Amino acid sequence: MEVKKYEIKEGLTIFIRPLIKEDRKAFVKAFSKLSDKTKQLRFLTSTEALSEKEFDYLVNVDHENHVAFCAYYSKNGEEIGIGVARYIRSIKKPNTAEIAITIIDEFQGMGIGKLLIQNIVAFAKQHGIEKFVANAYYLNNTILNIISKYPYEITGSSDGVLTIEIDITHGKRD
């Protein structure tokens, strides 16, 4: 499994690689650090907590139809989770997948989301995905900023949540 290393800023080195089920403990820990606002932006509901079953689902990815990449740093030999980007392939349209991403609050705005997206887009393209679908609040400038680097189309809107189709075959960033 390829692990990529990035120097984010002085003193902060992060790693990005596919998520594996052994990451469950770090994943649960990182989830507990998310603010209500971040959880709301990611899950589009006021998610207080996730059930054990939901955590199982989110870490037991198959690297083909349910794919996730994680970002972490290392402290005293422990891998500390920073964020996850994942996609779930559509059964009906196998060249399309729904994407979601979360970075824990204290690491937002440092370019890590962008790196996770670059990694997952590159992987997706190698695995036959051409289009990502994202659901995002219309005021979520950060994710809209990332999406706008690719050709995209807003295909739906409900209660302030936009459904956006992104053509990942023509992005500038990968």
Ligand X SMILES: CC(C)(COP(=O)(O)OP(=O)(O)OC[C@H]1O[C@@H](n2cnc3c(N)ncnc32)[C@H](O)[C@@H]1OP(=O)(O)O)[C@@H](O)C(=O)NCCC(=O)NCCS
Contact residues toward ligand X (CB under 6 A) are 38, 41-42, 100-103, 108-114, 134, 136, 140-143, 145-146
Q: How far is the CB of 102 from ligand X (least distance, A)?
A: 4
**Cβ nearer to ligand X, comparing 59 with 104:** 104
Q: How far is the CB of 42 from ligand X (least distance, A)?
A: 4
What is the Cα–Cα distance from 108 to 89, expressed in whole angstroms?
26
Q: How far is the CB of 81 from ligand X (least distance, A)?
A: 12
Alpha-carbon distances of 18 from 60, 75, 145, rounded to whole Å:
11, 19, 24
What is the Cα–Cα distance from 164 to 155, expressed in whole angstroms?
6
Q: How far is the CB of 6 from ligand X (least distance, A)?
A: 11
**Cβ nearer to ligand X, comparing 42 with 131:** 42
68-90: buried (b, 16+ CB within 10 Å) or exposed (e) per residue?
Answer: bbbbbbeeeeebebbbbbbbebe
**Cβ nearer to ligand X, comparing 16 with 103:** 103
**Cβ nearer to ligand X, comparing 16 with 59:** 16
Beta strand spans in the chain (E): 4-9, 12-18, 66-75, 78-89, 96-103, 131-137, 152-158, 161-167
Closest to 131 in 3D by CA, of 164, 105, 97, 94: 97
**Cβ nearer to ligand X, comparing 43 with 55:** 43
Q: How far is the CB of 91 from ligand X (least distance, A)?
A: 20
